Amino acid sequence: MFSLENKKAVITGGGSGIGKAIAETFARQGAVVHIIELNEDNAIQTIAGIKEAGGKAFAYGCDVSDQEQVKKIFEKIGELDILVNSAGIAHIGKADTTSVEDFTSVFNVNVKGTYNSLHEAIPRLKHRGGGVILNIASIAAIVGIPDRFAYSMSKGAVFAMTLSVARDYMQDHIRCNSISPARIHTPFVDGFLAKNYLGKEDEMFEKLSHSQPIGRMGSTQEVAALALYLCSEEAAFITGNDYPIDGGFVKLNN
């Protein structure tokens, strides 16, 4: 079950965090993985690990907010079977404390970046006879999160794009779903704690972990396992859905 043998998967943001875990998981299941990543060094390190484990992978340095860059990369990759839009950036701030520069930056990466990949991938999926698109949204798209105005805006847009694409390309045999993680333990979390809570990292880590009913953060591997299912043939009847992976945050946090 859950084999991706002979599938070509493109993963944006696949050099670190959730995207990296998805890339590694897909490669283990037989996919040829193409990582699009702003930090090309991270992408190269990720594909080195995949190759060492016997998988096949390629790396491309690219700013997903730049449509011309994205177009050139997809022209190099050619046809594909799976697109995972995982590239994204976070931001902390409310509506009146978010600068226009930060708002635009979050929009350009999280929203425009997703659009740019969709714009290039969908014609190739149609030519292929179908395929799968998976967008990484967030629980911030469906519940109110303090101090996450721009980020919530962007992930709400990703969720809406998921529904639109699922509807528009159903007849082309293209499935589109999204995953909405809660707090996942990634290098970003460690960096955030080191920057903002120097000397109190462990204390704040525990506090953030217990903000979720299950009492801990999720792992990138757990998100990758859900991504694998949604991109596999076992999920062939699933499209136009969002899947929170949140330790009970959305429904049980009261």
Catalytic positions: 151
Residue 151: name the closest of 87, 73, 91 by CA: 91
Token readout for 71 is 């177009």
> Are 189 and 150 contacting, i.e. CB atoms less than 8 angstroms apart?
no
3-state SS, residue 174: strand
- Alpha carbons 150 and 97: distance in angstroms, whole number: 10
Residue 174: name the closest of 115, 118, 244 by CA: 118
Give every strand in the sheet of 32-37, ordered side by side: 56-61, 32-37, 8-12, 82-85, 131-136, 174-181, 242-245
Per DSSP, the residues of 54-79 read T-EEEEEE--TT-HHHHHHHHHHH-S
Q: Any idea what DSSP says for residue 183?
A: S
**Contacts of 240 by beta carbon, 8 Å cutoff, 6+ apart:** 162, 163, 166, 167, 176, 177
